Amino acid sequence: MGFGHVVRRRGSPVVRIVSVGLWLLGGCARERAASPPRDPPGAPSVTRPGPTDSLIPAGPLGAAIRRGRALLVATRDSLPGHVGNGLRCVSCHLEEGRRQATGSWVGVYARYPQYRPRSATVETIEYRINDCFRRSMNGKPLAVDGVEMRDMVAYLWFLSRDVPIAPPQGGNRLQKWAAFRADTAAGTAVYTATCAKCHGPDGQGTAVGPPLWGRQSYNVGAGMTRVRTAAAFIRENMPFDQPGTLTDQQAFDVAAYVNGHPRPDFPDKIHDWPNGDAPPDVAYPTQAARRKTSP
């Protein structure tokens, strides 16, 4: 079993780091150790991309990097006022953000600021982090100039060490899924055989996997509610201990099955894609889309 850390806010009289067992998203997706990382029995042998921990500097910068990593690993326990469900940052960004697949944080820092159509603005990395708090974790944003945000960004900066600053890669990585048609009955079968052992037959999570729908899961504004996004994540990462063993169609079917269930609302979703360029698999209406279809 992996171990994470609960990090108390620095305003507390004593900053305590408490080990807790953390297992998260996927067939048996686990939130991995902040330090030292160890592969659980049966996990795939993968090279951890990005810089080694030996390169974390001493002094205040190194402390910020380590604390940022701990916050990202134990987000809900460390920042309960900002997380409104049963997820943590590493629910989707596996292996402390190092897994070389969809969700990797290695190199992300070097690609911000960047323009994103969902907000139709140039987003900073702090903006993007807070978007995940509001959507994927159904919570509240952090203070952009606060110590927690600073330390999280420090860890993401460290993971991008020696990665050249560059714009996001061109092309639409999700376009391959446009030709697929979902079979939710087949998705039910995949979920029952492969996913339920960790996420529960009712999708509400277990001791080894987080909830995938319902009040404790990501809200409707999260990127994972897009079937194509969820399919890409599932195809590359799940099951956790046997990634890549599902076919494209199986990943697409189970993504549709999972996202066909109710979850918390996100009222601000109406303002997404204000230029009217929402992807076709967005599961909710927007003001811009309504204007385009109005007579």
148 and 8 belong to one structural domain: yes
The pLDDT score that the predictor gives to residue 5 is: 42
The count of residues in the chain is 295
66 and 148 belong to one structural domain: yes
Give 113-149 pLDDT, tens digit per residue.
Answer: 999 999 999 999 999 999 999 999 999 999 999 999 9
Task: Give the domain range for residue 192.
Answer: 175-267
Residue 73 falls within a domain, yes or no? yes
Helix (H) and strand (E) counts for the chain? 10, 4
Identify the CATH number of the domain in which residue 70 sits: 1.10.760.10
Residue 290 falls within a domain, yes or no? no
* β partners of residue 18: 6
Contact between 20 and 76 (Cβ < 8 Å): no
148 and 187 belong to one structural domain: no
* Whole-number Å distance between alpha carbons of 202 and 211: 9
Give 179-197 pLDDT, tens digit per residue.
Answer: 999 999 999 999 999 999 9
Residue 289 falls within a domain, yes or no? no
